[in-house]
Amino acid sequence: MTLHLYDTYARSLRPFEPLAAGHAGLYACGPTVYDYAHIGNLRTYLFVDGLRRALAFNGLQVRHVMNITDVGHLTSDADSGDDKIEARSARSGKSAWDIAIEFTRAFEGDLRALNILPPTVWCRATDHIAEQIDFIRDLEAKGYTYRTDDGIYFDTTRQDSYGKLARLQRDGLQAGERVELGDKRDICDFALWKFSGVPGQRQMEWDSPWGLGFPGWHIECSAMAEKHLGAYFDIHCGGEDHVAVHHSNEIAQTEARHGTRLANFWLHGAFLKTGAAKMSKSAGDFLRLDSLVQQGVDPLAYRYLCLGAHYRSSLNFTDEALRAAASGLARLRVTVHGLGEEQGDADPAWLARFTACINDDLNYPRALATAWELLKSALPDAVKKATMARCDAALGLGLLAWRPVQAAVPAQVQAWMAQRAAARVERRWAEADRLRALARAAGYDIDDTPQGQQARLL
Ligand code: AMP
Ligand code: ZN
């Protein structure tokens, strides 16, 4: 069964056919690094990781590009307010550059803890200023821009297709009287380049053909996606909040420059909520992955929780749901571990069932349930284990690598281990076996590993 994905642009499920056989180009909008990521943001990156793993599961070589927004994202998506990173700098006394580095590192740590594969290419907006300036110049040459007192803006009225992704009703918007237009000619227009304003007020600023300033938030993605994936690539994704503004504007820019809508597929992940509210960084009171870890929760329990909800359904975060996920993960680990060490071949029929779930628009909840059914089936343990190894390449739970935590090994067991090591050197196999049996009777098995003997709780 071919992979089918729900394309927001078409508002329908479409079979995924790569633009270049055997390859998939994937761009995911990355974090704005003015604060820690919250577990809602991380749900979106888990969705992206599930997509990437599904593409690889289907034999495609994935080039996954993720940007780091370290400049230009203003507190209001309507191009007003402060730059979030400069504002954090003013509050904390650290430089804007240091803030970006600090929260980028924290983000990378979160991804590692969640077994999220690192992107093939990380790209930072501040490393691509020249590309963004070139892009804007080209838009200017083609007549898509105008200048105001505070920057260079994109004229969305030049495009009949503007807002197609969001099914935007322009007429309704024009009638919306309460919207603050500022210097913009149309409420949908957006900043490509903002002027610095008062000299010395900003830390991140660059010379440009239009004056000292910094790029708008949307141009970075069009410019970096083009540089690292080309002007038209397979899939662009992000959280559902990006549909109406950020992704609509990315499409507008690239369509104006190249006549393409940037990506063949547009995928969006639904939000994590707490009660009725969406979790948001700017609201301030959010849960970090680290907060869960401090409560003794394994980060992968959060991954397990997210696997249990389809990416297009919103997920309500509760402590109970997290506890249930932690217990589900613990049972899964112990079950897979209990399959033993014997080698076998994966079962094609079960793999096909599992693949059908993934390929049905990334139905991980059903894929996870199928993995459980497989474990409860009558297949030989070695076959279950080999099949689970394949499934876990998509689930990303690190099941095969999991080992029970080494409990402090009692002194008596350690003494038997030392005697056993000596017996093995002297090839007294019967004695070695007798000592191992003693350890087993005391509840410990002894594994012979390249690093020597290891005791593990039975
Ligand atoms: P930001 O760092 O604010 O630019 O957001 C990073 C990513 O997280 C974006 O793709 C957002 O769409 C996504 N996001 C923000 N809030 C949530 C949430 N509550 N649940 C899921 N994703 C979110
Ligand atoms: Zn973006």
Contact 112, 59 (CB under 8 A): no
- What span, in angstroms and rounded, lies between the C-alpha atoms of 65 and 391? 24
- What span, in angstroms and rounded, lies between the C-alpha atoms of 44 and 279? 12
pLDDT mean over 308-337: 94
393 sits in which H/E element: helix 381-395
pLDDT at 412 over 90: no
Overall residue count recorded for the chain in this entry: 458
Per residue in 138-173, pLDDT (tens digit) is 999 999 999 999 999 999 999 999 999 999 987 766
Q: How far is the CA of 91 from the centre of ligand 1 (A)?
A: 23
What's the confidence (pLDDT) of residue 175? Answer: 47
- Give the burial class of 425: count Cβ atoms within 10 A of its Cβ; 0-12 exposed, 13-18 middle, 19 or more buried: exposed
- The verdict on the CB of residue 27 being under 6 Å from ligand 1 is no
- The verdict on the CB of residue 279 being under 6 Å from ligand 1 is yes
Contact 302, 39 (CB under 8 A): yes
- The verdict on the CB of residue 242 being under 6 Å from ligand 1 is yes
The fraction of the chain above a pLDDT of 90, given in percent, is 74
Per-residue DSSP letters for 111-145? HHHTTPPPPSEEEEGGGGHHHHHHHHHHHHHTT-E
- The verdict on the CB of residue 241 being under 6 Å from ligand 1 is yes
- What span, in angstroms and rounded, lies between the C-alpha atoms of 371 and 332? 9
The fraction of the chain above a pLDDT of 70, given in percent, is 96
Strand-by-strand arrangement of the 315-316 sheet: 277-278, 272-274, 315-316
Name the closest-CA residue to atom 18, ligand 1: 40
pLDDT mean over 72-94: 86
For the chain, the helix, strand and coil percentages under 3-state DSSP, each to the nearest 5: 45, 20, 35
Q: How far is the CA of 41 from the centre of ligand 1 (A)?
A: 4
- What span, in angstroms and rounded, lies between the C-alpha atoms of 396 and 24? 19
Contacts (Cβ under 8 Å, ≥6 apart) of 191: 79, 150, 151, 152, 153, 154, 216
The minimum-distance atom of ligand 1 relative to the CA of 241 is 12
Report the 10 Å Cβ neighbour count for 330. Answer: 14
- The verdict on the CB of residue 326 being under 6 Å from ligand 1 is no
Q: How far is the CA of 246 from the centre of ligand 2 (A)?
A: 6
What's the confidence (pLDDT) of residue 361? Answer: 98
- What span, in angstroms and rounded, lies between the C-alpha atoms of 136 and 411? 71
- Give the burial class of 236: count Cβ atoms within 10 A of its Cβ; 0-12 exposed, 13-18 middle, 19 or more buried: buried
What's the confidence (pLDDT) of residue 201? Answer: 86
- The verdict on the CB of residue 272 being under 6 Å from ligand 1 is yes
pLDDT mean over 258-275: 95
What's the confidence (pLDDT) of residue 30? Answer: 96
The minimum-distance atom of ligand 1 relative to the CA of 280 is 16
- CATH pick for 281-395 out of 1.10.260.40, 1.10.730.10, 1.20.1250.20, 1.10.10.10: 1.10.730.10
What's the confidence (pLDDT) of residue 44? Answer: 98
Helices (H), 23-83: 39-57
Contacts (Cβ under 8 Å, ≥6 apart) of 190: 79, 153, 154, 156, 184, 216, 218, 245, 249
- What span, in angstroms and rounded, lies between the C-alpha atoms of 5 and 28? 16
Residue showing tokens 């969001």: 166
Q: How far is the CA of 404 from the centre of ligand 1 (A)?
A: 34
Domain ranges in the chain are 16-269, 281-395, 411-457
Contacts (Cβ under 8 Å, ≥6 apart) of 272: 39, 40, 43, 278, 279, 314, 315, 316, 317
What's the confidence (pLDDT) of residue 364? Answer: 98
Q: How far is the CA of 287 from the centre of ligand 2 (A)?
A: 23
- The verdict on the CB of residue 261 being under 6 Å from ligand 1 is no
Q: Which ligand is nearest to the CA of 69?
A: 1
Helix (H, G, I), strand (E, B) or coil at 90: helix
Contact 57, 393 (CB under 8 A): yes
227 versus 72: which is more confidently predicted? Answer: 227
- The verdict on the CB of residue 29 being under 6 Å from ligand 1 is yes
pLDDT mean over 178-193: 84
* Sequence letter at residue 409: V
Q: Which ligand is nearest to the CA of 103?
A: 1
Helix (H, G, I), strand (E, B) or coil at 290: helix
Q: How far is the CA of 44 from the centre of ligand 1 (A)?
A: 6
- The verdict on the CB of residue 271 being under 6 Å from ligand 1 is yes
Q: How far is the CA of 20 from the centre of ligand 2 (A)?
A: 23
Give the CATH superfamily of 16-269. HUPs (3.40.50.620)
338's tokens: 């209990």
User: Best mutation site among 46, 241, 242, 313 for ligand 1, i.e. most ligand atoms within 8 A of its Cβ?
Assistant: 241
Name the closest-CA residue to atom 6, ligand 1: 31
Residue showing tokens 């940037």: 262
Name the closest-CA residue to atom 2, ligand 1: 31
Contacts (Cβ under 8 Å, ≥6 apart) of 198: none
250's tokens: 């990315």
Q: How far is the CA of 206 from the centre of ligand 1 (A)?
A: 28
Q: How far is the CA of 32 from the centre of ligand 2 (A)?
A: 10
pLDDT at 5 over 50: yes
Least confident of 108-117, 122-131, 408-417: 408-417
- What's this model's pTM, rounded to 2 decimal places? 0.88
Please say whether the dihedral angle defined by the alpha carbons of residues 161, 164, 169 and 174, taken in this order, is positive or negative: negative
Contact 117, 151 (CB under 8 A): no
Name the closest-CA residue to atom 11, ligand 1: 239
What's the confidence (pLDDT) of residue 391? Answer: 98
Contact 42, 114 (CB under 8 A): yes
Average pLDDT, the chain: 92
- What span, in angstroms and rounded, lies between the C-alpha atoms of 361 and 3? 7
pLDDT mean over 364-387: 98
Contact 153, 146 (CB under 8 A): yes
pLDDT at 10 over 70: yes
What's the confidence (pLDDT) of residue 176? Answer: 46
